[in-house]
Structure 1
Amino acid sequence: MDQAPKLLDQVRERIRFKHYSIRTERAYVHWIRRFILFHGKRHPNTMGASEVEAFLTHLATKGNVAASTQNQAFSALLFLYRDVLGQQLDAVSSVERAKKPERLPTVLTRDEVRTVMAHLDGTNALMAKLLYGAGLRLMECVRLRIKDVEFNRLEIMVRDGKGGKDRVTMLPDSLAEGLAEQVRRTVEIHRQDLASGYGSVYLPNALARKYPAAPQETGWQYVFPASRLSVDPRSGKTRRHHVDEKRLQRAVKAAVRKAGITKPASCHTFRHSFATHLLESGYDIRTVQELLGHSDVRTTMIYTHVLNRGGKGVRSPLDVA
């Protein structure tokens, strides 16, 4: 008689059924395991809202986790009870929330962006310029596929961005030639992979079953492929994935240091700078909202802080004649 799958295996199966990303899978499994260990390895079926509250409160008060981290843990436990165990948690109202700091985004000036870019080269430089020039998130850049770059219209289609949304943003004219050369190199790598019996790429949301030939088509290949083949942790198939995002993160961190910039700048700072510089140039905030893919214009409005002079536009009495 077959044994019922273990709880964490059930979690993984349900996550994959709902087509969540492997990052979400790893995060949810991590938090569910910590929740169980926190309560002395009790099965979640024997626990409920009070135990969830105790765990989340512990994260905030003893673990000193960020608000986003606590919310991720909460989402994992809600998923466990609702989607795996088929239970509805009672109102979880008394959880002590980790305080979410109200911080303005770090923004580089145009000169600072140019200085950082000068310390990058090759593919890293091209990817960083896409983050700044098109307002892409880091993972949107590394997951970019050949078919989603429209050179004739100088457009990039961002598929399945944050919140599962698609959007269109610009392809900077100054990057078109370099990106076209990158695509040509990728096509040649794909040709060699096919000749070696590989050449299949990961497709999201069961598209590979719907379109069996698509994983080997050129258009579906990542614009920025990994340097070597690897084994897909879910399917076990040997494929060429996209480049590891940590490579660009390390390169940007080093470039910021070499540029002598003391701001806590990262890859995401380029996206913040993209939005800020567009608004400084007079572009409508709704246009910037669409380019960034924000659902709510209030999210975009955080960038308007730079349109004011220091001190919210108030002139210091020291400067008044």
Structure 2
Amino acid sequence: MKLLNQVRQKLRAGHYAYRTEQAYVHWIERFIRWHAKIHKRWRHPSEMGTPEVEAFLSHLAVDRHVTSSTQNQALSALLFLYRHVIEKELGDLNAVRAARSRHLPTVLTPEEVGRLLECLQDRSEAHGAYALMASLMYGSGLRLMECCRLRIKDIDFGRNQVMVRQGKGNRDRAVPLPRTVRERVQQQVQWREKLHRRDLEGGEGRADLPHAFERKSPSAAYDLAWQFVFASDRLSRCPRTGRSGRHHLHENALQKSFQRAVRSAGIPKRATCHTLRHSFATHLLASVS
């Protein structure tokens, strides 16, 4: 659709994250298709307004039983569409803005974390990188995508520090590199360096760069410093540019391996990769109290 391409262009011009772009396009397309199904004909969003937005969000809440965060994400996508693409203000939508639910996070005990990491370590998937990634998420408090997107330049062995670039809220921060995984991280970087040399010899070796920096220094895409630490086994094409390169390991693969390890460890809790971050914070507070 031409409209969805306009949405993508506006989002990229505003430096929105690619995941935000995917989510917003998804909800805008669902909004259009749902009204086409209801009214038996296609309607451009410019022909619709506040009543149609309210009806769609009510459908999500009442018929689809989506969570409050999902409902508010759909609302944000539609507000972006009308304000920045169609340039049409909507009326008061407070009635369909869901109240944020507050749940206590799942926290694993230190013993459960140990069993979980042992089960991941026993697996040979992704050259054992999943176990190391889980150890970093627990030992450094990294989020899933922060861990996946780590680049070689972001690891400072001299200061035992990891730099998180463009984390949540587009903010940078420094986190400790646990001494217990320092040697394994060094081995991972050495393996990554060998893989990068092979890629360069084969005419590849490109990593996606932040857009502003890529325009300033396009050759940096082939530098070792900008390569992802936890690289995929295969080359792929960037969904935005279409250029071939070696991306990081896919987060879904890590999540699936993590869930298998949770079951193997016999942990009767609803644990995800993000649970390691909550466990890190809880255990850190307990150690200083």
Which residues of structure 2 form unaligned runs of 5+?
37-41, 122-127
Hey, what does 2:27 align to over in structure 1?
31
Alignment RMSD: 1.4
Hey, what does 2:52 align to over in structure 1?
51
Residues in 1 aligned to 2:18 and 2:81: alpha-carbon distance in whole angstroms: 16
CA contact (8 A) 1:57 1:96 kept: no
Which letter does structure 2 place at the counterpart of 1:25? Answer: E
**Is residue 2:146 matched to residue 1:150?**
no
More displaced, 55-64 or 149-158?
Answer: 55-64
Residues in 1 aligned to 2:120 and 2:144: alpha-carbon distance in whole angstroms: 16
Hey, what does 1:114 align to over in structure 2?
114
- Per the alignment, in what secondary structure is the counterpart of residue 213 of structure 1? helix
Hey, what does 1:232 align to over in structure 2?
238
Which letter does structure 2 place at the counterpart of 1:66? Answer: T
More displaced, 5-14 or 224-233?
Answer: 5-14
Which letter does structure 2 place at the counterpart of 1:117? Answer: L
CA contact (8 A) 1:200 1:240 kept: yes
Hey, what does 2:196 align to over in structure 1?
190
Residues in 2 aligned to 1:167 and 1:49: alpha-carbon distance in whole angstroms: 40
TM-score by length of 1: 0.84
CA contact (8 A) 2:164 2:175 kept: yes
* 1:207 shift after superposition: 1.5
CA contact (8 A) 1:54 1:95 kept: no
**Is residue 2:4 matched to residue 1:8?**
yes
Hey, what does 1:93 align to over in structure 2?
94
Which letter does structure 1 place at the counterpart of 2:13? Answer: F
Which letter does structure 2 place at the counterpart of 1:215? Answer: A
Kindly report which structure 2 residues correspond to 1:135-214, keeping only aligned pairs within 5 A, or say none: 135-214=141-220
Residues in 2 aligned to 1:87 and 1:204: alpha-carbon distance in whole angstroms: 31
Residues in 2 aligned to 1:269 and 1:123: alpha-carbon distance in whole angstroms: 18
CA contact (8 A) 2:72 2:97 kept: no
Which letter does structure 2 place at the counterpart of 1:226? Answer: S
Map Cα deviations across residues 160-186 of structure 1 (whole Å, 9 max, x no partner): 011111111100011111101100111
Which letter does structure 2 place at the counterpart of 1:60? Answer: A
Residues in 2 aligned to 1:232 and 1:194: alpha-carbon distance in whole angstroms: 18
Which residues of structure 1 form unaligned runs of 5+?
284-321
Residue 254 (structure 1) aligned to one of 243, 247, 260: 260
CA contact (8 A) 1:38 1:55 kept: yes
Residues in 2 aligned to 1:38 and 1:228: alpha-carbon distance in whole angstroms: 38
CA contact (8 A) 1:108 1:273 kept: yes
Residue 13 (structure 2) aligned to one of 17, 30, 43: 17
CA contact (8 A) 1:116 1:256 kept: yes
Which letter does structure 1 place at the counterpart of 2:102? Answer: E
Map Cα deviations across residues 248-290 of structure 1 (whole Å, 9 max, x no partner): 111111111111111111111100100000110116xxxxxxx
CA, structure 1 residues 191+91, in 2 after alignment: closer, same or farther (shift >3 Å)? same
More displaced, 81-90 or 66-75?
Answer: 81-90
Residue 129 (structure 1) aligned to one of 135, 148, 157: 135
- Structure 1 runs of 4+ with >4 Å offset: none
Map Cα deviations across residues 201-249 of structure 1 (whole Å, 9 max, x no partner): 1012331111121111111100000001011122111110001111211
Identity of aligned residues (%): 54
Hey, what does 1:78 align to over in structure 2?
79
Residues in 2 aligned to 1:101 and 1:49: alpha-carbon distance in whole angstroms: 25
Residues in 1 aligned to 2:207 and 2:196: alpha-carbon distance in whole angstroms: 10
Q: How many residues align?
A: 278
* 1:93 shift after superposition: 2.6
- Per the alignment, in what secondary structure is the counterpart of residue 157 of structure 1? strand
